Amino acid sequence: MNINVLGLSDERFQRPLDLLSQLFFEECKVNLFEDQNANITINMNIDETKCLVIGSLVGGDEFSTHYDKNEDPKLHFKAIKKAVSYVFLKLLQEYTGIQQKWGILTGIRPTKLLHKKLKSGMSREAAFKELQEDYLIHEEKIALMQNIIDRQLQVIPDLYNLQNEVSIYIGIPYCPTKCAYCTFPAYAINGRQGSVDSFLYGLHYEIEYVGAFLKERGINITTIYYGGGTPTSITAEEMDLLYEKMYSSFPNMKNVREITVEAGRPDTITPEKLEVLEKWNIDRISINPQSYHQQTLKAIGRHHTVEETITKFHLAREMGMNNINMDLIIGLPGEGLNEFQHTLNETEKLMPESLTVHTLSFKRASEMTQNKQKYKVADRKEVEQMMNEATEWTSSHKYHPYYLYRQKNILGNLENIGYALDGQDSLYNILIMEEEQTILGLGCGASSKFVHPQTGQITRFANAKDPKSYNDGYEHYTHEKIKILDTLFPMTTS
């Protein structure tokens, strides 16, 4: 599809229009200057003084619509951009007959927007009205957002007051093999012991120095999360030493509300590693089936069996793990409603404490996206039916949604939702989504997000993604982070 959008001289309109057009058409080009080969042309008329945008679509049936609202003049370009997006979306909805339930929102954190409105003192009714009328969000999605926010405030009542604490993310960049849809920093571990040794040396260093800084400034830690890669890819002994380092370096470990270790690949779980997790009071682990179809696992490069997922789940249970999360993916290659139903039936036999239901997304760097023709996936309608099935199934099994995020190129423009049984919600997942406090990323591929305790302004800093660069630069990454922390949490004089 090739679309001319005429009447917009500012190139800052390009990106939002590109993102919106991709919700409707897989391959789409938006031209702000006339292209003779365009399939349709949209004319936009902007009256900047009134924040009035009138748009009409020429080609095939013709439609026109407008956005007209008094907006804060201080946020002028932002307001005009919203108005243009609104008009563009409405015209494409008319043209294609497809209704986008997330309206003009293309960002990954819809709930953050609602939190922001409520925190500013806006009433629920006014916030809902704005989301519906200005952002064109469907009421079903607004209800979902509200549900999630209520839940979050119930499990973290001080969510809006955690700016003076931090959470920690620790990235371990190894996996047994690389999955086809994966863009995480994940390197096959076999044959890399030299690299693992150097990586862990650097990670211990980061933990020690960052921990010392937090202790010195009296900054407590709310949650700790080990992700990657697969943090249980390293040996039981290496895990033991790493957690020992964490306990000896970080301040007030007894006050940490939650420690999660992803054990995503069942083929990495052993009784010895479970003993180590138990020894260091790890609260929560994740064992990820993704699907209960052997053929699918093979197709996406997960070299473990369905049976292994089930056996390792039971083993973890028997060895004392009482908060286990499982990740599922809707729309994996070759899977439709029947296959997903089977996955839910298998999930019912295990009843993990929490369940994260992802919708497949084609991330640019993944093997799957680069060889898209090899992977046949369900169409928009079937993906939506699977999502509805997940919603009904979770609700009838007493799971409630507690966090959500969206991704680009996600099938059917849907979302990823975390569900949990009562009292088993992952606090870290809420904190990372809602950006209410600083999250320090240590290790490979870990990014830090510094949230200014007073202004809420966000600064990012990323460690290297590959172990080699990390091993060369871990000292630099450590001290750069400490420098930023020093500006956010200065030494107080008494």
**Binding residues vs ligand SF4 (CB under 6 A):** 175, 178-179, 182, 184, 186, 228-230, 264-265
Nearest to ligand SF4 of 103, 445 (CB atom)? 445
Q: How far is the CB of 339 from ligand SF4 (least distance, A)?
A: 19
Q: How far is the CB of 21 from ligand SF4 (least distance, A)?
A: 29
Q: How many residues does the chain have?
A: 494
CA distance 289 to 307: 10
Nearest to ligand SF4 of 92, 175 (CB atom)? 175
Q: How far is the CB of 242 from ligand SF4 (least distance, A)?
A: 18
Q: How far is the CB of 189 from ligand SF4 (least distance, A)?
A: 10
Which DSSP letter does residue 159 get? Answer: G
Listed in sequence order, the DSSP H helices in 3-106 are 14-24, 76-96
Nearest to ligand SF4 of 345, 370 (CB atom)? 370
Q: How far is the CB of 46 from ligand SF4 (least distance, A)?
A: 44
Give the residue from 344, 350, 224 showing the smallest Cα distance to 284.
Answer: 224
Q: How far is the CB of 185 from ligand SF4 (least distance, A)?
A: 8
Report the DSSP beta bridge partners of residue 67. 53
Residues contacting residue 276 through CB under 8 Å, at least 6 positions apart? 236, 239, 240, 243
CB 189 within 8 A of CB 196: yes
CA distance 169 to 174: 15
Nearest to ligand SF4 of 184, 470 (CB atom)? 184
Nearest to ligand SF4 of 264, 467 (CB atom)? 264
Give the residue from 458, 456, 447, 450 showing the smallest Cα distance to 484.
Answer: 450
- For 324, the 3-state DSSP assignment is strand
Output the CA–CA distances (angstroms, integers) from residue 340 to 153, 176, 386, 403, in the order listed: 31, 25, 7, 21
CB 30 within 8 A of CB 3: yes
Q: How far is the CB of 366 from ligand SF4 (least distance, A)?
A: 9
- Tally of CA atoms within 13 A in the half-sphere of 42 that contains its CB: 28
Give the residue from 46, 57, 44 showing the smallest Cα distance to 93.
Answer: 57
Q: Concatenated DSSP letters for 105-127?
A: --SS-HHHHHHHHHHTT--HHHH
Nearest to ligand SF4 of 265, 406 (CB atom)? 265
- Listed in order, strand segments (DSSP E) in 104-249 are 166-172, 174-175, 187-188, 221-228
Nearest to ligand SF4 of 176, 401 (CB atom)? 176
Q: How far is the CB of 174 from ligand SF4 (least distance, A)?
A: 8
CA distance 108 to 314: 34
Nearest to ligand SF4 of 264, 289 (CB atom)? 264
Q: How far is the CB of 186 from ligand SF4 (least distance, A)?
A: 4
Q: How far is the CB of 312 from ligand SF4 (least distance, A)?
A: 14
CA distance 224 to 427: 10
Element (H, E) at 359: strand 354-359
Nearest to ligand SF4 of 82, 265 (CB atom)? 265
Q: How far is the CB of 429 from ligand SF4 (least distance, A)?
A: 16
CA distance 470 to 468: 5
- Tally of CA atoms within 13 A in the half-sphere of 112 that contains its CB: 17
Nearest to ligand SF4 of 101, 273 (CB atom)? 273
Nearest to ligand SF4 of 184, 474 (CB atom)? 184
Element (H, E) at 177: none
